[in-house]
A and B are shown apart, each in its own frame.
Chain A
């Protein structure tokens, strides 16, 4: 209980010493994003389980995806990369040196271009609203 108290109070009292705090909009956008990510984790789990059990190794369509980024803040990029890694079937492997592209390895996708568009539309557009 004391730990909780300090954990809440200390950041509030030291707020002025952190001029570059990441800005985060806590609201329906964040909750909706979490719900969508949780749902996608479950769906993708079943998909990857099917791929592992039913697909022969040489029929796997693995791809390296390059995702051009619209989000700029490091926190948003980290959140996007973490989301991509947590969703089974895709692992984010690297970020470009100027921070404008993400390298993602996909286990089994039919159309790499469509997959990149899906990730951008589904996750990144929502993150843009959460991290202004």
Chain B
């Protein structure tokens, strides 16, 4: 085993441990945090650094050990980074609607209940249909 392969192996191991640790902390956040909006933060974490470092590890592994190179990991990153904010936005919108109608049972759940208004007009979720 050459020196380069050894270095690559250490790097890959470190990245995998880091990614696993962040995915774990993100899941722990999902279990621990008190309200829906705060739990959203836990999931964004797991997707960005958790999955990100696993993908980087994969991008190092295949050229060094299997002599193949593919751009699949970059595509995964791209699609993940495009879809994650949209999903979070949709969950947040649904939550805002439920809160306004009083459908969420645990009022104490969300710490600042009322959403502050913008400088003028209203938020598109509620007033956009006008």
Residues of A within 8 A of B (CB): 41-42, 45, 48-49, 52-53, 57, 60, 62-64, 66, 68, 81-82, 84-86, 88-98, 100-101, 103, 105, 107
Contacts and interface: CB of A to CB of B under 8 A. Distances in A.
Contacts of A68: 118-119
B28 A86 contact: no
Contacts of B37: 62, 91, 93, 105
Interface residues of B, number: 44
B76 to A, nearest CB: 15
A125 to B, nearest CB: 19
A85 B84 contact: yes
Contacts of A63: 112
A60 B119 CA distance: 26
- A-B CB proximity, top 3 nearest: A85-B85, A101-B118, A93-B92
Interface string B76-90: 000001101100110
Contact of B122 (A84, A96, A105): A96
